[in-house]
Amino acid sequence: MKVNQSIAISENGFVFNPVTGDSFTLNNTGMQIIAMLKSGKTIEQIKEALLSEYDLDALVLERYLQDFITDLKRNYLLLEE
């Protein structure tokens, strides 16, 4: 999986997909996850990083993370390699 290279993400979390014209807003955690995906981290590595930073149940995190990844894929922000 890789982050769609054509999307533009501003510092305040506004995402614009110039191909489809869709726009979204990300919260800080969303931006953090996208940044890690962009740097080439795997889902497992992202999970570990978030668990070490936040006081979270691993199963809850896993569920939220999968939902977020599914949203990214559905909106063409994350592409299968």
- Residues of this chain that bind other proteins (CB under 8 A): 6, 8, 16, 18-23
Tell me the closest approach of the beta carbon of residue 25 to other proteins, in angstroms. Answer: 15
Q: How far apart are CA 27 and CA 75, in angstroms?
A: 16
- Residues whose CB falls within 8 Å of the CB of residue 54, separated by 6 or more in sequence, listed in order: 61
Tell me the closest approach of the beta carbon of residue 77 to other proteins, in angstroms. Answer: 15
Question: Judged by CB, which is closer to other proteins: 22, or 48?
Answer: 22
Query: Quick check: 17 and 76 in contact, CB under 8 A?
Result: yes
Question: Judged by CB, which is closer to other proteins: 22, or 71?
Answer: 22
The Cβ-side half-sphere exposure at 70, using a 13 Å CA radius, reads 6
Tell me the closest approach of the beta carbon of residue 43 to other proteins, in angstroms. Answer: 25
Question: Judged by CB, which is closer to other proteins: 6, or 45?
Answer: 6
